[in-house]
Amino acid sequence: MSSSQQHAGILGIGSYAPERILTNDDLTKIVDTSDEWIVSRTGIKERRIARDDEYTSDIATQAALRAIEDAGLTPEDIDYVLLGTASPDNPFPNTAAWVCKNLGLMDTPALDVSTACSGFLFCLELATGLVESGRYKNVLAIGAEKLSSIVDYTDRTTCVLFGDGSGAALVGMGGHRIHQTRCATDFNYDALYIEAGSRCPVTKDSKGNGSHLIRMNGREVYRFVVSKAVTLMEECFERAGISAEDIDLFVPHQANLNMLEFLVKRLEIPAEKMMVNIQKFGNTSSASVPIALDQAYREGRLKKGDKVLLLAFGGGLSSGYALVEW
């Protein structure tokens, strides 16, 4: 990992979680489940749920403002907004455009990235390229979700997993260097999907049939993650000329605690070097990595020179990583 004075990096980070907490005990009143069943299979104890009048763009804006403040800048300094989300406000206008409106930005490029749980990593890679191209100075990379709006609360295999929240990174020249990024897609529709769209249009007759809700084959997703994640991490280490021992903090997508424990054991990363907050937030899809990174930052777990490894995987099936030097 060679140093350079000209590089894109994270100038500021921030996150936001709605106030309402939905516990496992709360879920037992909605669906046939139990706290023991949920914890033993996922590690989740509770998750945050947005208000009815609180939308993905509102949640995203809160994290963006905190990242901007952390960088010592103002919204007027932002010249590109990238937003990863699987739960947009509308099919169009895109949710990033709503964020621009909330921030008071006009004539600013705004782009949604629809790669589900990998959305923030895709945004971070795009932001890095935009900054290093010299065309843009300060680019927001956001992951934000109101998954409670697309969760089927009659399906106990999925409704126990997901929560709402957002995280953001402000990318510019300098800062915490983004050494390398890598994103990929290995197409698999049946593993994790939402039907609604041109392939399954909502009609008067089909309205309310649940086509807009999350569907998941958990075993298929698990198989993909444990194989693809290991391959990606080994590639990352080789490209950077480092080993697992050199990683100071591992920040993976908070999907399933059992899965994360398998990954650190397989990659030979000490468990104490992994940032885990799934117990409190559940799976917040594209928001989970930036929320976890921001929490680690606020808790003082990051110091100058630390090598931080970010990893995500989601619908598509998509995946990505980023290696950041703090």
Q: Is 176 one of the annotated active-site residues of the chain?
A: no
Tokens representing 3 are 């140093």
User: Burial, 155: exposed, middle or buried (Cβ in 10 Å; 0-12, 13-18, 19+)?
Assistant: middle
Question: If we measure between CA atoms, which residue out of 61, 87, 79, 70 comes closest to residue 14?
Answer: 70
Q: Is 200 one of the annotated active-site residues of the chain?
A: no
CA distance 244 to 252: 14
CA distance 176 to 91: 34
Give the ranges where 208-256 is alpha helix by DSSP (H).
218-240
User: Burial, 82: exposed, middle or buried (Cβ in 10 Å; 0-12, 13-18, 19+)?
Assistant: buried
CA distance 210 to 188: 21
The residue from 100, 117, 159, 183 that is catalytic is: 117
Q: Does 201 sit behind a cis peptide bond, omega within 30 degrees of 0 on the bond before it?
A: no
Question: If we measure between CA atoms, which residue out of 178, 181, 199 comes closest to residue 190?
Answer: 199
The residue from 159, 179, 253, 256 that is catalytic is: 253
Question: If we measure between CA atoms, which residue out of 320, 315, 324 comes closest to residue 297?
Answer: 324
Q: Which residues contact 40 (CB under 8 A, 6 or more apart)?
A: none
Q: Is 179 one of the annotated active-site residues of the chain?
A: no
Q: Which residues contact 165 (CB under 8 A, 6 or more apart)?
A: 15, 16, 17, 18, 48, 59, 144, 145, 281, 284, 287, 288, 291
The sign one gets for the Cα dihedral 221, 227, 229, 231 is negative
The residue from 24, 94, 256, 283 that is catalytic is: 283
Which residues are designated catalytic?
Answer: 117, 253, 283
